[in-house]
Each structure stands twice: as C-alpha cells, then as structure tokens.
Amino acid sequence: MGETGDAEYALLQSEAGDGGRPRNKIPEDSFRFAYIIYFTLGLGFLLPWNAFITAIDYFSYIYPEASVDRIFAVVYMLVCLVFLLLIIFYSHNSDAYPRINAGLALFVVSMLVVPVMDAVYIKGRVGLYAGFDVTVAAIGLSGVADALVQGGIIGSAGELPERYMQAVVAGTAASGVLVSFLRILTKAVYPQDAYGLRKSANLYFAVSIVVMVICIVFFNVAPRLPVMKYYRELKIQAINEEKEEKGPVTGAVWRSNLWDIVGRVKWHGFGIVLIYLVTLAIFPGYITEDVHSEVLKDWYSVLLITGYNVFDLVGKSLTALYLLENEKVAIGGTVVRLLFFPLFYGCLHGPQFFRTEIPVTVLTCLLGLTNGYLTSVLMILAPKIVPLQHAETAGIVIVLFLVIGLAAGSVVSWFWVI
C-alpha cells in the first residue's frame, strides 16, 4: 500500500483537522524505514521461539529423560496466553510503548540463558536436570515477552495503514526462513555430535540476541519518524473525541468496548484459529515424524520445513501486491484448507504415487502459501473494522485468537494421523 493508500486511510479516520481545516499532507516514509522497522520487529518476536525449537536436538541430547518439545510448547503457549489475556483486560490502563520495550528486554534475557549456562555450567554434560529447570523458566520468560511484544506490535500496526501490518506479518515468516537456513548451514558445516549440537544451539541464540538488540534500537527510533508521529496524533485526537462524546473510560466502559471489539472481529478470529489448527496439526510434527525419503534421508524433513517457511513468506508478502478485501471469501478459504487433512493422509495411506517426495513437497509448499496469505489478509482486515482508537485492542484480540489456534493445532497434531 503506497502513499495514496496512506492518504485514503487518514481520510477515513478524520476528514478534517481542527476548525474544519484540512490536515497536513501525510509525511513520506523515507527509504521505507518505518516499513523496515515493522518488518524487523515481526521477524524478531518469533525468532526466540524458533531458536528454542530449532535447538531441540541439543536439548534432547543434554536432557534425554525429558519430553523437551512437549514441555517447551505447553509452557510457552500457556504463559503467553495468560499474559495476553491480562494485557487485553488492562491495556487501557497502560501504554504499549513501555510494554513492548519491557518484552524486548525480556527476550534478550531469556536468550542469554542457554549459551551462558552451556558455557559455565552444562559444558556439554548430559543429565544435569537443574539446567533443564532453568531452561524451562527461560521458555516461560520468553512466553511473557512474546505476549508483551507480539500483542503490542500487532496492536500498534493495527492503528497504521495496511502495509505496516503486512510488514509485521511478513517479518514473522522471514523469521522461519532465517532459522531454516541457519539449520541447513549448521547441518552442513557442523558434525552431528555433541560438539556440533552445542555449536548449532549457540549460533541460533547468538543470532536471536543480535536481532533482538536491533529490534530494541529500531523500536525506539520509530516514534521519532515523522510518519509515525502523524498517525500517533491521529490516534490521540480520536481518543480525545471519544472522551468528549462519552466521558472518561471507566472499567465498565472498557469492558463494554472490549466485548464490542470481540464481536466485530470474531469471524476474523475464527478464521485465524482455523488456519493454525490445520497448519499446526500437520506442521512440523507430520513432516518431521511421519514421512520419510530413502533418497534424501534426514535432509528430507529439513528441506520440507524450509519449503514451508519460504512459501509462508511468499504468501505473507503477496498481500503487498494484492489484498483480498472480501473477508467472507478469506474466511471461506480457511474452511477449504481443511482439505489438507485428507490430502496429507493420502500421502501416508493413499496410492503409491501419493507416497513419494513430489506430492508431499507440493502439499507442504501449498500449506505454507495459504497459511501465509490468509493469515496476512485477516490480520490486516481485522483492526480496520473498529474505530481508530480501538485498533490496538483489536490487534491484540486477534493475536489471542492466533495463540488459541496454535494451541489447538498442537493438540490435534497428536490425534489425526493414524
């Protein structure tokens, strides 16, 4: 969405300035810096989780008696869900800016735990389960950070023109692509033994820490950009106008507004839940555990995960070229994706051709493409159906639906394939 789209967005929010005078021209996003900032923030808030799950081989080696992947997922998602609920109910009493800064700082702390503990305590030794407890605590801390950052970033992007939400969503996909290529690099360069696993894990977390520091710098630069100041002023004016019309926002008023927002975005939320229920039921568990290749061997799952992540990025980037604005069609598309269940089931139990590498690869790429595009569409459209002053809350509510979808998909993944 270019400058013309920005002007249309501002016009929809407020047709004139004080005294009926037209507003000043929207400042230009010089060098697309604001877009780059939101893209980087989207990449950043998913990178820590991707680092933890990509280093699962290292954690499984160090803690062989623990159900590492299951415990990580449960702790991360439950903590994130609880804190998202708290943010939604109390966000009217706080500002997103300090919340996001606090979350980014917590991400850095949680990322430092693993390499520091490996260097000073674990040192490659197996079975030191006090280290596992500390790692799980770091996962929980990262879940808190995710709620603070993801909810805040998606919420703040919801107050801006569509292209900034598209930037955030594309950044989340880029996070998966980055980690996939790091996984390929470490698998090709390091031996698949204790030494190689340690080096790989430390690389994942080192990259995450560097990106997070960049995110902190970018996020604190963003409010100083003229284009960001312009939209901030629009929001402040909308809030002041609502106060003049309805009076101060009390707890009761806020709860009423919140339920109204949930009612408006519920179908978008339903679509998001369905998207991730289908995706997480298949990816990555089915791809890493259920399909095999005699030719590609253990590279097969790595390449399938990379293919999914690349096409997820393609899908989330396509909305910059064409945005499907019919929400009913988009939500219908999320229902059609249920067909992936019988199709992937056929790759295990269907005709011989279906059980080869080509159908599985094509379906995996389509899974990523549809996941990316439909997620981007619904995330962009949802905050735009509420007044500007409530767009941040609508964005956070959509993130809550997303986390519910992730949790539901993780549960379904254990049951649907026989």
Closest CA to 226 of 34, 14, 19, 2: 34
Written as six digits, the tokens of 92 are 């009217």
**Assigned domain for 338 exists:** yes
Which pLDDT belongs to residue 193? 86
**Assigned domain for 91 exists:** yes
Burial 223-253 (b: 16+ CB within 10 A, else e): eebebbebbeebbebbeeebeeeeeebeeee
Matching residue, tokens 């977390």: 205
* Binned average pLDDT, 10 residues per bin, the chain of 418 residues: 45 43 72 96 94 88 86 88 88 83 96 94 89 95 95 92 96 94 90 89 94 97 94 88 76 78 95 94 78 82 90 96 95 96 88 85 96 97 91 91 89 69
State the Cα–Cα distance between residues 202 and 206, nearest whole angstrom: 6
**Assigned domain for 89 exists:** yes
**Assigned domain for 296 exists:** yes
**Assigned domain for 112 exists:** yes
- Domain limits at 294? 31-412
- Domain of residue 210, CATH code: 1.20.1250.20
Specify the number of domains making up the chain.
1
Q: Which residues contact 107 (CB under 8 A, 6 or more apart)?
A: 44, 45, 48, 142, 145, 146, 149, 208, 212
**Assigned domain for 22 exists:** no
Written as six digits, the tokens of 107 are 């991400």
**Assigned domain for 233 exists:** yes
**Assigned domain for 307 exists:** yes
Which pLDDT belongs to residue 111? 95
Which pLDDT belongs to residue 250? 67
Which pLDDT belongs to residue 177? 94
Q: How many CB atoms lie within 10 A of CB 198?
A: 21
Question: Does the predicted model carry a pTM greater than 0.85?
Answer: yes
The sign of the dihedral angle between the CA atoms of 399, 400, 406, 412 is negative
Which pLDDT belongs to residue 20? 39
